[in-house]
Chains A and B, each alone.
Chain A
Amino acid sequence: MNAPDPNPDDAPLLGTHSRRAFLKGFGAITISAAASQTQAVAAELEKLNAEKIVGPGPVPVTLRVNGETLSLSLEPRVTLLDALRNVSTYTGTKEGCDRATCGACTVLLDGAPIYSCQMLAIEAQGHAITTVEGLAQDGKLTPVQKAFAERDATMCGYCTPGFVMAATALLKENPHPTPADVRRACSGNLCRCGTQPRVVEAVLQAAGGAADNGTPGDLHA
C-alpha cells in the first residue's frame, strides 16, 4: 500500500533493520546488474545484515505520531499497530485481524496509507505517522470525517477509522475520484456492518461531488 518513494535519496537513515532500506538496496542492485550477479546480491545482503543487529530485547524507538514525538522502549518485533494501541494511547487505530486483511489498522505513513499491523514500529521511525486522532484540527472535522458522519458511513464504527484514513489518502492523491476510484482505494478495508454504500457516498461528498440519490433528504443538524 505504501506509495513508491519519490525521493529515495531523502530517506532518513534508519539503521539496517529497516525493510525499506533493505528493499531499496535490493532494488538498486537489480537495476545495476541486469544480467548476472546473484552473487552480488548475496554480497550486498551480507553487508546489509552485518551492520547492526537489534533485539530481541527492548530497544529505544522514537515515533513521530500526529506531530508529537513518542519515545518508547520496544522489542523489535512489536508492530506499529501494537505500539500505537497498546504501548501508547492511540486506540483510534483499530485491530481487526493483525494480518493485513481488514484495513482497520490503516494509518498514514508520510501521507500514504499503510496497514500498521504489517510494519514494525522500528521501521516506522523517521516517518511522519498520522492516525485518525490526528486528522481533525482544533476540533474541526476534516471534509472526509464530516461526510462520513453526515452520510451515516459508520455503524458500529470499528472499521471507520481505517476507511477514513484510506479515503483521506485517496482525496489527497485524487481530489475528484469516481465511485470506482473510491471502491478501489477502500478495497483493502472490510466492514461487517455493511457501510460500503454509504462510504462511497461519503467520499464523493467529501470530494465536493453532487449528492446522488439515496440521500437522506431531511437530516437534522
Chain B
Amino acid sequence: MPDPVPAPGALAWPAETRVVGHSTHRIDAEAKVTGRARYASDIQADGWLYGMILRSKWPAARVAAIDLAPALQVPGIVAAVPARDGERTIRFYGEELAAVAGKSKQACLDALRAIRVTATPLPFVVREDDAKADGAAPVWDTAANFIPGTPKEQGSVDAAFGECAAVVEGFYTTPVQIHHPLETHGNTVSWTDDGVTAWASTQGIGSVRDGLAGALQLDQSRVRVVTEYMGGGFGAKFGPGVAGILAAKLSRQAGAPVRLMLTRFDQALAVGNRPSSFQKIRLGALADGTLHAFDFENYGTAGIGAGKASEGGGGGANLPMPYIYKVPNVRTKQAAVAVNAGPASAFRAPANPPASFGMEGAMDDLATKLGVDPVAFRIQNDPNPIRQREYKVGAEKFGWAQKYRRPDPAALALATAGPIRRGVGCAGANWGGGGNKNTGAEVEIHSDGSVEVRLGVQDIGTGTRTVIAVVAAEVFGLAPEQITVRVGDTRFPPGPGSGGSTTCPSVSPAVLDACTNALRQLQTQAGLSDIRDAKGANWAAACRKLGAGTVAARGMWQPGLSSSGAGGVQFAQVAVDTEIGLVTVEKIVAVHDCGRIVNRVTTESQINGGIVMGLGYALYEERVMDPASGVVLNPNFETYKLSGMADVPDIDIVLLDMPERGVIGIGEPATIPTAAAIANAVANALGVRVFSLPITPAKVLAALGKVPSPTPA
C-alpha cells in the first residue's frame, strides 16, 4: 500500500543522488572492530552488580513458597527478589522464579543454588499432537489447549477441485525456531529516587521505557533507556521482558545498578520463538496451468502464548495462505495449540517462512505433475509484476534454463553415477513494512562545520546509524563520516521500534526533513547573502558565519518518501549425498527490491543475513522438547545448530533499485523464501520431497526409503 500522496511542492528525494543509493562503510564499523563499541552487556555502571535468574526445572508446577533467605546469606549477595509474589502456577520449563544480584557471577551462581522452592509438580504436555488429544494435561486452567479454527471459504472449493486437471496434496511441518541473537537479552538497570535508567539490549528503546514505567508504576518521563549498541534481536527483543523488570527491582533493593543478561540457556527457554506449523495442503490447477483450488488446514504451537486469552487461538501460529498466489477458490482452517513451553514472539517475517515452505513446495509438486517449468508456473500465477520481473532476472543470473531438470526418480537413479545428486529450486517473498509517521529527528550544525543528528532509534545491526549519516550527508553535500549520529536514547526525538522492516522507511524521511530544515535555517541564520548554496564546497565558510550561534532544527517523517511492499525471489542449488543424507547448499541467487536503496552495501549485508538465517531454518534449526520430562533438550549452540562458516553457500545478490517507489525495508523479505527454495531444490535433486523442516540427513534417507521416518506421523 503506497503512503498518502504528498502535496505539491512537498519534500522529495533529489533527482540525482551523490551518497544515497551508493555504498557507504558502516560509520560505526571501527568501534565494532576495535572493541570500543559498548553493548548493553558491556555496561559497567558505577558500583554495578551482577544479576541472575532462577528458572523452573518443572514444566508445570504449583509453587507454594520461595525462600530467598539462604540466598541472601551467600557472601557477596546484595539483593534477591521473587519473580512474582505469593502462590503461583509455573507453566513451562525455564519460567522465571526469582532473581539475585551480587558482587560476582560466582556469588550469584551459589545464591541460585541456595534458594529453596516448595512446589508440587503438575501434569504437562509439550508436543503439539499430544496437547490436541482428548484428556491432555491442560496448559491453562481457563481455556482448552486447542479449539479447531473456523473454516473460511472463498469460492466453492470442493466443486473447484473437480474441475482441476492436476491436484497435489502434502503434509508440511516446520519446527519451533529460536532467535538466538549472539548477545542474549538483558539490561543494566539503575533505579534511584530520580527514576530509572536502563541500558537495554533492545530493538525498541521506547517499548522498554513504556514497559518499565508500566510495571514499576513510574511516569514514562522518569524512565530513560539507552541502547548505544546491541547484539541482534530478530523480533524477540521488544519491551523490558521479565528480566528487565527483575533487574529494576533488584536495583531498587540493592541501591545499585544491576546488570542482568540472560545466559544462553535462558535465551532458548523463555524469551520467544517462531511457532511450529503442521500444514495439510491440497492445491489444484486447471489444464492451462492456472491455479484453481486450495484447501488448507494448519495448527502450530506458540507455547504458553497460545490458549490463554484467545481460547485456543493466538500466538501468531496462523499463516497467510495461499501466500503470494492468486487462487479463486480457497478454504483455510487454522488454530494455535498451547503446550508447556516458552511463549512465541515475533520472529523475522512472522508467519511468512513457514507459509512459503508449504505453499512453494505444493507449487513445485504441482508444476511437476502438470509438466510445466516451475518458474514459468510461478510467473503465471503470481500477480505481482515486480516479482514476475525478479523471476526473469534471477532465472537468467542463476542459469535456470540450463540447470533445471524435471525430477524423475527412475531416471535419476540410473543417470547418477555416484551418491551425489544435484537439484535446483526457487521461491518468492512478500512483505509489507512501511514507515512510522511518528518518527522525528533533530539536527545541530555548529560554526566549526560539524553536524550532529539525533534520533531515538536503535541500530540493531542493520546499519541504521549509517543510513542516517547517508541521508544527512546527501542533504548537506558532505561525506557520511562528517556526520555525528547519535541514536539509542529515549531523550532524543522518538524513533520507531526496529521490527517489521520499518526502520529505514521511518528514519530516512525524518532525517531528510530535519536536515532540509536545518539547511534552510543555516542559510538565513548565518545571513548568507554572498553564499547562495551552503552545501558541499561552501559548507565550512557558511558555518563559520554562524559565529557563536548554532543551528538547531527538527523534522518529522513526511509522506511520499517511503513506501511499503517489498518482494523478492531466491534460487537455490543443492548437492545431496544420497548415502549419508547430507544436504549442501552450493549457491543462492537472490533478487530483491526495496524501493529506493539508501545504502547498498548494508542492504546487501541484510540479504546475506536473511539467507544465512533461512539456511539454518531449512537444514539445522529446531527446538527439541522431551515429552517425558517436559524440558528443552537443546538449549545451547552445541545441540541447537546455527549455520556455520562452512555451511554458507556462494551468494549472488541482485538488487532492483526503484527510487520512484520511495524507501522500503528489506530485513524480513530477505529471509522468507530461502528455506522454501532449498527444500524445492532438495526435492528436485531426489525426485521425492522431504515435507518437514529442518531437512536433516535422517529425513532425507527416510524420503529415499533407506531408513524409517524419524518424524512422528
**With known contacts A154-B26, A187-B646, A220-B24, A102–B33 Cβ distance under 8 A:** no
Q: Is the CB of A194 within 8 A of B25?
A: no
Q: Which of B44, B229, B651 contacts A157 (CB 8 A)?
A: B229
User: Taking A91-B42, A102-B182, A197-B608 as contacts, is the C-beta distance between A157 and B37 under 8 angstroms?
Assistant: yes
Binds B, one of A22-30, A31-39, A44-52, A128-136: A128-136
Taken together as a complex, chains A and B put the C-alpha atoms of A150 and B601 apart, in Å, by: 10
Nearest residue, chain A, Cβ from B33:
A145
Q: In angstroms, how far is the closest chain B Cβ from the Cβ of A65?
A: 12
Stretch of B114-122, B132-140, B150-158, B637-645 on the interface side: B637-645
Contacts of B460 in A (CB 8 A): 156
Contact between A196 and B181 (Cβ–Cβ < 8 Å)? no
In contact, A190 and B34 (Cβ under 8 angstroms): no
- Select B636's contact among A97, A136, A189, A221, beta carbons within 8 Å: A97
Q: Which of B22, B31, B463 contacts A218 (CB 8 A)?
A: B22
Interface string of A152-174 (1 = CB under 8 A from B): 10111111110010000000000
Is A192 touching B105 in the complex (CB atoms < 8 A)?
no
- With a cutoff of 8 Å between Cβ atoms, the chain A residues found around residue B32 in the complex are 149, 154, 157, 160
Bound state CA distance, A157 and B22, in angstroms? 22
Q: Which of B437-456 contact A (CB under 8 A)?
A: none
* Chain A residues closer than 8 Å to B648, beta-carbon distance: 194, 196-197
Chain B interfacial residues counted at CB < 8 A: 69
Contact A155 B605 (CB under 8 A): yes
The stretch that binds A, out of B1-9, B55-63, B230-238, B375-383, is: B230-238
Tell me which residues from 75 to 98 in chain A have a Cβ below 8 Å from any Cβ of chain B. 75, 77-78, 82, 85-87, 89-98
Task: Check A95 against B25 for contact (C-beta < 8 Å).
Answer: no
Closest to A99 in B: B636
- Decide if A183 is an interface residue (CB 8 Å cutoff): yes
Which residues between 18 and 53 of chain B lie within 8 Å of chain A, taking CB atoms? 19, 22-26, 28-39, 41-42, 44, 50
Residues of B within 8 A of A187 (CB): 644-646
The answer to whether A216 touches B601 (Cβ under 8 A) is yes
Residue in A133, A155, A184 whose Cβ sees the most chain B Cβ within 10 Å = A155
B106 at the interface (CB under 8 A from A): yes
For the complex formed, measure the closest distance between the CB of A159 and the CB atoms of chain B, giving whole angstroms.
5
Q: Does B436 contact A (CB under 8 A)?
A: no
Which residues of the partner chain A approach B183 to less than 8 Å between Cβ atoms?
94, 96, 156, 158
Q: Is B480 an interface residue (CB 8 A)?
A: yes
Q: Which of A87, A90, A156 contacts B231 (CB 8 A)?
A: A156
Interface size on A, residues (CB 8 A): 65
A154 touches B33 (CB 8 A): yes
Q: Kindly state whether residue B104 has any CB partner on chain A within 8 Å.
A: yes
Known contacts A96-B264, A192-B234, A220-B25: A149-B610 contact under CB 8 Å: no
The answer to whether B30 touches A102, judged by C-beta atoms less than 8 angstroms apart, is no
Interface residues of A in 95-145 (CB under 8 A from B): 95-99, 101-102, 104, 131-133, 135-136, 141, 145
What does DSSP make chain A's interface, helix, strand, loop or mixed? loop
Contact with A along B235-279 (1 / 0, CB 8 A): 000000000000000000000000001011000000000000000
Interchain CB contact under 8 A, A141 and B231: no
Mark interface residues in B649-690 (1 if CB within 8 Å of A CB, else 0).
001110000000000000000000000000000000000000
B523 → A minimal CB distance (Å): 26
A195 on the interface (CB 8 Å rule)?
yes
Q: A78-B106, A197-B651, A221-B479 are in contact. List 7 more A-B contacts (CB 8 A).
A: A92-B36, A95-B41, A156-B232, A157-B461, A194-B611, A219-B23, A220-B22
16 contacts between A and B (CB under 8 A): A78-B105, A91-B38, A94-B39, A96-B264, A97-B636, A99-B636, A152-B26, A158-B231, A161-B35, A187-B644, A189-B645, A194-B609, A196-B612, A197-B651, A220-B24, A221-B481
Chain B contact residues, CB within 8 Å of chain A: 19, 22-26, 28-39, 41-42, 44, 50, 104-106, 180-184, 229-232, 234, 261, 263-264, 460-463, 479-481, 600-602, 604-606, 608-613, 636-638, 642-646, 648, 651-653
